[in-house]
Chain A
Amino acid sequence: MRREFLNDFEELILTLVAALRENAYGAAITIEIEQWLGRKVTLSAVHVILYRLEDKGYIKSTVGGATKERGGRRKRIYSITNAGLAVLRSMKETRTEIWKLVPLLKIVNS
């Protein structure tokens, strides 16, 4: 089976979709990234990646409710699919495996 490849930004967003659950939509994810990582991302970049992930079948979307702060516009709420979860999990495991190969190092004052 061909291993799907996700770059780190895609992986981050996929993880956030999984973590935020019913609150996973564009603006929220953008703000979360900013808060968690202190990293400024543009909304359009997040959107593009969300659409791409949806195309690949890792997440699916439903149109959700509108709030006042959104000027009455509805949200597009994303949720992770089984395929997405599998990819995420396999990536994490691979990373852990590799991590295990790293000899135990201590940061010593030299």
Chain B
Amino acid sequence: MKSLPAWSERLLRAICPDELYEQIEGDLIEIYNYEVKTIGKRKAKLRFILACFRFVRPGIFLRNKFSWNINSIDIIFNYFKIACRHLMNSKTFLLINVTGLAVGITASFLIIQYVSFEMSYDRFYTNSENIYRVGLERYKNNELQTSSATNFAGLKELIHENFPEVDAVTGFYKTPANTGVFFRYNGKIFNELGGELKTDSTFFKVFVGMLLKGHAAAALRERHCMVVSESMAKKIFGDEEPMGQHIQMPNDDGGESERVITGIFKDFPPNSHMHANFVMPLEPFIKDGDEWSQAFLHTYVSLKEDDHPAMVTNRLNQFYQEMAVKYPEMKETKSFLQPLTSIHLSSHMGDELEVNGSKDLVYIAAAIAFIILIIAWINYINLETARFAIRAREVSVRRIIGSAKSDLALQFLIEYFCVLALAIALATSLITFIVPRFSYLTGIPIDSIQWSQPSIWLIAFAVVVVGSILVGIYPAIFLLRLNPVATLKGKFGNTSNGRTIRKTLIITQFSASLILIACVLVMRSQLDFMQTIDKKFNVDHVVTLRNPTAYSSEAVVEKHAAYRTLENKLMENASVQMVTSSSAIPGTEIGFTYVNLLKRNVHDPYNPTRFKTLFVDDNYIPFYGFKLLAGRNFDPPRPVQKWINPWDDENWLTLILNESAIHALGFNSPEEAVDKIVEFKNFEDHFQKHRIIGVVEDYHHEAVKKEIFPMIFSPNYGSFQQVYYSIRLNSASSRGQAVDDIRKSWTAVFPNKPFEYSFLDEYYDQQFKSERYTKRIFFVFAGIAVFIGCLGILGMTLFEASARQKEISIRKVLGASVASLIGLLSVDNVRLILLSAIIAAPLIYCIAQKWLSNYPMRIDVSPMFFVIPVGILLLLVAFASSFQTINAASTNPIDHLKNE
């Protein structure tokens, strides 16, 4: 029968009942032999194989194991019964175990939610994998100076013409989200925040799948086109069909221009690295040659399916090198392609569209999820192995009667799975309760369970399953290794082996808790530090308004006149102390930021330092209380009657710089810089002589987290850069009253403009949002970890106290005091905590150092970060163990000694 495949035998043996197998195979072979004679060997063999497979049918294999199945179901049922009895016998332990596991699972689940959300950024485009952003790096003597997310304006043309492997390229400029888009529709005035993208007609060809209505090719072709987001269309047009609607927008010439809605795009989801409500065509305001001097366009390309970004980068840099001969600004610059999906977590360059997330934080979060799970598992193992001292006798008797080890192991596993099932049930209800409130907790806009990253979930699930099984098996193995006879003789105590393992596990637990508490402390101190120490200016009692005419059509003189009227009206109110106007307020981004903006001499070489320019009036510096290190403030403006060329007035040609700016210019001290003449490129696109009249102390304008940048203060007399009005209130007046007063003055001057205000202290505080949330997340999860740890300690002391009850009783009879007994029971825990502290200290130091190095302004790692967590842990452990310890120490010793 050599010609017949061997696997057929295995197949038949697997599916056929043992008693029928031989005859079935015999029949098959007989028919095969018969058919070899009648229809030939090859066909017969084919039929034989077919016939074998035909035996895979319920009529055959259901005949197997029926009787056996019933028996084993009975046994499993019995195990369940016994498991339930055991669990019910020790309700406290059950409660501790179930709570610990449930809280652990819930916490890990929520953290994985966060992790998967953070990792799901920018994957919603049809071609996400092929989109790259072209970043720009500037070098000085081959050393990387700065890198920015924006690139030269000419880049998109260059790519379009010379890179056939690039499918589409687009460049856009995004107005800051706090700059309103101002327009009229149907007589109604809108001033919408959220930002607009000014881009070219290929935008929706790069970002495929965003456009809901309209054609990707045509939506942005004409200058009057405008594409709005779905939610914005709903807000503006209600239920009307938005496509083809006309809105009126102010233009630069003072009139109004019509815009036609030519498309609707999907709202950018929360997990996008950019957000905007409006997309409009970029007006070609770059003059020839200039497109290679300023880098302000975010440039994105979509590559064809199998193209290598590295190749494109290489060729691009060859172009850059060649072109640097003609355009001095391109010297020592390099471009690189950055995958779209990696931007959110790993890109932290200048001019990012939004504050990006941090890869480290995501990894740390995943680590915490894992740590919490481990702590919960350790709890279970510890409690179970400890409690087995009691179970050992039962197990020994069972084994002597003849239970197989595997059966006993199965029983323990079933007991464990009962606990696990209860824990999972509890965790599920906790999760369904917490998930809708998740965004409050973490600031992440998740209010339903995210399944978007299946790979992460798969890993998490695998970890939980494998871990759970290992955790369930360990105590079973531990118990089955015991010698039943010795145990029955009473030799089973706390074996030193088991104790060492238990102690190691507890130390791991304590160390993890210590590290988490320390992390919370470090974050808290850093946050407090940033919020308080650095305020070199006063943001209390300040109301800010956005100028409704900043980008509108009125003539400059009228705008200035309107501001003056408003200022006068405001000052009439008793509640208002001072008013100032500026192009940005502390906490907002400064939009006017360029390289090569300021030089000491017109013939100085190209200066790559990035200066940010703030246009302020003469009140700005006293208003916020900035310290002038040298020189003086701006002069008050002269009354403006008619539009004069600003450069004719000497008052305009003055600058105040901050310390960083004068250092960037090479001045050694503020005094040296004052009254020096420098070249400043204002709007006219050529350098103009300006006098430095003062130097102001460095302060964090945009955010404390960012480095201080060189800043230029330029007077904004009557010009159009008044975007924000800041109004300082008298500290005595009530906020509500003051806002009412301001509203009245406002409506008197701007009867048709929306009144939007904010309190600066709240606004300025928003920059700490991510830190606050991070702190809160850490606080909660560190709390959870410590809580689970404490549950474990509680369980352990419960057990220890009852196991050592006899010893305690004897000691008591012999005259030990309650206090000394409590000390005896607690000393172990204290020793373990101290040991954990020694292990955790270097780790805490490393983590704190690493995290703090993210901040330009930071605190030092102080010993408090080690001492306080240990103190907290000692207190909590003392608290968790106190009840049982005191209880054990103060019971009547006779009660425990009399029954032997």
Q: Which of A58-110 contact B (CB under 8 A)?
A: 63, 66-67, 69-71, 73-76
The residues of B that contact A31 with a CB separation of less than 8 Å are: 31, 34
Which interface residue of B20, B25, B30 has the most chain A CB atoms within 10 A? Answer: B30
Q: Is B23 an interface residue (CB 8 A)?
A: yes
CB-based contact A42/B51 at 8 Å: yes
Q: Which of A42, A51, A76 contacts B63 (CB 8 A)?
A: A51
CB-based contact A44/B30 at 8 Å: no
Closest to A66 in B: B26
* Nearest CB in chain A: distance from B588 CB, A: 80
The dominant DSSP class at the B interface is helix
CB-based contact B27/A25 at 8 Å: yes
CB-based contact A70/B26 at 8 Å: yes
* Nearest CB in chain A: distance from B66 CB, A: 12
Q: Is A56 an interface residue (CB 8 A)?
A: no
CB-based contact A27/B30 at 8 Å: yes
* Nearest CB in chain A: distance from B39 CB, A: 11
A27-B30, A44-B54, A70-B30 as given contacts; A52 in contact with B59, CB under 8 Å: yes
CB-based contact B54/A42 at 8 Å: yes
Q: Is A19 an interface residue (CB 8 A)?
A: no
A43 to B29, CA, bound (A): 11
Interface size on A, residues (CB 8 A): 23
Q: Is B57 an interface residue (CB 8 A)?
A: yes
* Nearest CB in chain B: distance from A43 CB, A: 5
CB-based contact B26/A44 at 8 Å: no
Q: Is B124 an interface residue (CB 8 A)?
A: no
Q: Which of B1-41 contact A (CB under 8 A)?
A: 1, 20, 22-31, 33-34
A110 to B311, CA, bound (A): 90
CB-based contact A76/B23 at 8 Å: yes
A44 to B23, CA, bound (A): 12
Q: Is B755 an interface residue (CB 8 A)?
A: no
A48 to B29, CA, bound (A): 18
A35 to B856, CA, bound (A): 95
CB-based contact A26/B24 at 8 Å: yes
Q: Is B55 an interface residue (CB 8 A)?
A: yes
Q: Is B60 an interface residue (CB 8 A)?
A: yes
The residues of A that contact B26 with a CB separation of less than 8 Å are: 27, 66, 70-71, 73-75
A43 to B30, CA, bound (A): 11
CB-based contact A75/B29 at 8 Å: no
Closest to A72 in B: B26
A44-B60, A51-B59 as given contacts; A69 in contact with B30, CB under 8 Å: yes
Closest to A26 in B: B27
Q: Is A12 an interface residue (CB 8 A)?
A: no
Q: 0/1 per residue, B50-75, Cβ < 8 Å to A?
A: 01001101011001000000000000
CB-based contact A48/B24 at 8 Å: no
A63 to B63, CA, bound (A): 18
* Nearest CB in chain A: distance from B38 CB, A: 10
* Nearest CB in chain A: distance from B56 CB, A: 8
Closest to A77 in B: B23
Which interface residue of A25, A26, A30, A43 has the most chain B CB atoms within 10 A? Answer: A43
A94 to B30, CA, bound (A): 37
CB-based contact B30/A47 at 8 Å: no
A74 to B34, CA, bound (A): 17
* Nearest CB in chain A: distance from B72 CB, A: 23
The residues of B that contact A30 with a CB separation of less than 8 Å are: 27, 31
Q: Is A45 an interface residue (CB 8 A)?
A: yes
The residues of A that contact B34 with a CB separation of less than 8 Å are: 27, 31, 69
* Nearest CB in chain A: distance from B510 CB, A: 64
Which interface residue of B1, B20, B27, B33 has the most chain A CB atoms within 10 A? Answer: B27
Q: Which of B29, B55, B57 contacts A69 (CB 8 A)?
A: B29
The residues of B that contact A75 with a CB separation of less than 8 Å are: 23, 26-27
A25-B23, A26-B23 as given contacts; A73 in contact with B29, CB under 8 Å: yes
Closest to B52 in A: A44
A71 to B27, CA, bound (A): 10
Closest to B31 in A: A27
A102 to B55, CA, bound (A): 42
Q: Which of B20, B31, B33 contacts A43 (CB 8 A)?
A: B31
* Nearest CB in chain A: distance from B296 CB, A: 77
A52 to B63, CA, bound (A): 10
The residues of A that contact B59 with a CB separation of less than 8 Å are: 44, 47-48, 51-52
Q: Which of B569-608 contact A (CB under 8 A)?
A: none
A76 to B20, CA, bound (A): 8
A42 to B26, CA, bound (A): 15
The residues of A that contact B23 with a CB separation of less than 8 Å are: 25-26, 63, 73-76
Which interface residue of B23, B29, B51, B57 has the most chain A CB atoms within 10 A? Answer: B23
The residues of A that contact B22 with a CB separation of less than 8 Å are: 73-74
14 A–B contact pairs at CB < 8 A?
A: A25-B27, A26-B24, A31-B31, A43-B54, A44-B57, A45-B54, A47-B24, A51-B20, A63-B23, A69-B33, A70-B29, A71-B1, A71-B25, A71-B29
Task: List the 6 closest pairs (A to B, CB-CB), nearest first.
Answer: A73-B26, A48-B59, A76-B23, A26-B27, A27-B27, A27-B30
Task: Add 12 more A-B contacts to A26-B23, A43-B24, A76-B23 (CB < 8 A).
Answer: A43-B54, A47-B24, A47-B60, A51-B59, A66-B26, A67-B30, A69-B30, A70-B29, A73-B25, A73-B26, A73-B29, A75-B26
